[in-house]
């Protein structure tokens, strides 16, 4: 990946996080203000050790400061005004609410008698609304973005029955009477109009019944095993279905990969794997998959010369290269349908609902050995964005991140919004507040857990990056 591509992805990630974090914190800020709770600070990104920018109205005069370690002394004298700031660590953001135990771990204020304008003085139901405000904003924002995307750009539609060359099918599914060239007509009795929905239906929504049209013209009803989702994940058969494309020239070859050691070079054209000629990319993938863990012969066209190379295929059925110039065989079958506002709202709401349920469903893969190593940090999130600036893709990725942020924040983990919600629900049910020391210790445990997870996720990114050399 060249520097310019990394820059484009990083810029999109930065803008997306800035939008999501700011609106999330406003989700806390607005109800806190409505309930007359004092907000001491509102920060985009964290500011350990120093802040990039600070702004505050002090005694009616707006003052600013750049690259300062602490707020100026005179700013602290006007406690009724909010300090607005910009941190340097883009891991999130925060609003510092007076009278609340948060990530700042500022407990000095809590040693004083409770004041009417403090969080701890508000009724439990008011504090609950303040705490869930950020999650609600992110959830609503995700749905609104999906509606806007559908209304602005429409929705891609692809009926497999219209594909002249059928679908690309992962070779693992051949044992279930599915192979490349087949057309999946229905899934659970409903017409297939979108490959993304086909793949997600099987992986996340327990769809198992397919009607398939084979290349010889015969139709077959196929029922996949109940655990097919976990099996496909374990063997790396994702996505299971795709569009067929020409197996064109080799793009980037991964350093120290079997492809590199075999002598494969950029712009080579793979003509055959073993004794099987290659016309489609899925035929190339199938040939390598069937040779996983073994050595296989590759017939390669380099310029005008035809070469015979031998490569050791990895256990996941790859040898370490990317293709370039892949041409979709049936691109004319892809159509974009546009909708009015009413229909866009309906489709966008369904899109958001499915995104949330699919994200929750994928946690069944996280608690596996392969799933644990698949967890990624900021590099993985950045790779969600396209290598060129495309607004439709940007907003789709932002909508997904918004829904993920909403779900992750409501988890009952101390230091997250969901952790605070648990203690508030306990108070509302029992009529007793959780002891302050319990809240402090829970907050510290939560911070340690989150930092550990962050180090682990970004460590996985680092390991993947190092292994690519």
Question: Where in the sequence is the domain holding 320, given as residue range(s)?
Answer: 250-328
If asked whether residues 114 and 130 sit together in one domain, one would say: no
Are 145 and 202 members of one domain? no
Residues 81 and 225 in one domain: no
Residues 259 and 305 reside in one and the same domain: yes
pTM as predicted? 0.86
What is the domain count for the chain? 4
Q: What is the pLDDT of residue 468?
A: 61
Confidence (pLDDT) at 414: 85
Do 312 and 283 have their domain in common? yes
Question: Could you say which of 241, 260, 295 is where a domain stops?
Answer: 241
Residue 128 and residue 112 in one domain: no
**pLDDT (tens digit, 9 = 90+) per residue, 326-343?**
778 888 888 899 999 999
Query: Rounded CA gap, 218 and 212, in Å?
Result: 8
Phi, psi of 212 (to 5 degrees): -120, 135
Strands 83-86 and 39-46: parallel
Statement to judge: residues 342 and 427 lie in one domain: yes
Decide if 463 is inside a domain: no
The CATH number that applies at residue 321 is: 2.30.42.10
**Residue 70 lies inside a defined structural domain of this protein:** yes
Whether the Cβ atoms of residue 127 and residue 466 lie closer than 8 Å to each other = no
> Does 130 lie in the same domain as 26?
yes
For residue 459, being part of any structural domain is answered with no
- CA torsion, ordered 249, 254, 258, 261, to nearest 10 deg: 90
Whether 3 and 140 share a structural domain: yes
- pLDDT for 339: 95
- Residue 456 within a domain: no
Tell whether 296 and 352 lie within a shared domain: no
Q: Tokens 């020409």 belong to which residue?
A: 246
H and E: helices and strands count for the chain: 14, 19
Query: In the prediction, which pLDDT does 108 show?
Result: 66
Q: Do 428 and 346 belong together in one domain?
A: yes
Residue numbers in the chain where pLDDT is lower than 70: 1, 77-78, 102-111, 247-248, 325, 467-469
Question: Quick check: is 333 in a domain?
Answer: no
Is 450 inside any structural domain? no
DSSP 361: H
Residue 427 lies in a domain: yes
pLDDT at 327: 78
């Amino acid at each position: 990946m060249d520097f310019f591509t990394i820059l484009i992805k990083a810029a999109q990630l930065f803008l997306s996080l800035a939008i999501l974090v700011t609106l999330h914190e406003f989700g806390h800020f607005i109800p806190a203000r409505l309930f007359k709770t004092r907000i001491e600070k509102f920060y985009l990104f964290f500011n350990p050790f120093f802040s990039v920018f600070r702004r505050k109205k002090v005694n009616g005069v707006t003052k600013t400061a750049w690259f300062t370690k602490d707020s100026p002394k005179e700013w602290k004298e006007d406690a009724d005004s909010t300090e607005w700031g910009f941190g340097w660590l883009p891991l999130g953001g925060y609003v510092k609410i007076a009278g609340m135990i948060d990530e700042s771990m500022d407990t000095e204020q809590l040693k004083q008698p409770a004041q009417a304008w403090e969080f701890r003085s508000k009724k439990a139901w008011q504090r609950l609304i303040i705490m869930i405000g950020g999650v609600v904003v992110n959830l609503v924002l995700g749905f609104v973005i999906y509606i806007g995307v559908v209304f602005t750009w429409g929705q891609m539609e692809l009926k497999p029955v219209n594909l002249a060359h059928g679908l690309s099918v992962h070779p693992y599914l051949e044992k279930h009477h599915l192979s490349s060239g087949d057309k999946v007509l229905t899934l659970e009795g409903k017409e297939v109009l979108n490959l993304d929905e086909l793949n997600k239906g099987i992986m996340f929504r327990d769809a198992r019944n397919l009607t398939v049209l084979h290349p010889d013209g015969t139709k077959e009803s196929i029922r996949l095993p109940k655990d097919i989702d976990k099996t496909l994940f374990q063997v790396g058969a994702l996505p299971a279905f795709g569009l067929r494309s020409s197996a064109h020239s080799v793009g980037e070859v991964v350093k120290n990969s079997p492809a590199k050691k075999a002598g494969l070079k950029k712009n080579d054209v793979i003509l055959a794997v073993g004794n099987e000629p290659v016309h489609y990319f899925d035929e190339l993938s199938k040939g390598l998959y069937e040779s996983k863990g073994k050595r296989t012969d590759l017939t390669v066209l380099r310029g005008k010369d035809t070469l015979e190379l031998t490569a050791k295929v990895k256990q996941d059925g790859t040898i370490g290269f990317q293709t370039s110039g892949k041409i979709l065989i049936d691109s004319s079958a892809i159509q974009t349908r546009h909708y009015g506002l009413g229909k866009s709202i309906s489709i966008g709401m369904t899109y958001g609902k499915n995104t949330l349920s699919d994200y929750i469903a994928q946690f069944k893969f996280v608690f596996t050995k392969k799933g644990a190593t698949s967890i990624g940090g900021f590099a993985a999130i950045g790779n969600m964005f396209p290598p060129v600036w495309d607004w439709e893709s940007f907003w789709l990725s932002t909508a997904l991140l918004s829904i993920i942020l909403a779900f992750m924040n409501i988890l009952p983990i101390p230091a997250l919004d969901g952790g605070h919600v648990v203690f508030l629900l306990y108070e509302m049910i029992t009529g007793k507040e959780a002891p302050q020391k319990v809240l402090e210790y829970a907050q510290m445990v939560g911070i340690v857990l989150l930092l550990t997870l962050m180090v682990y996720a970004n460590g996985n990114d680092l390991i993947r990056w190092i292994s690519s050399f």
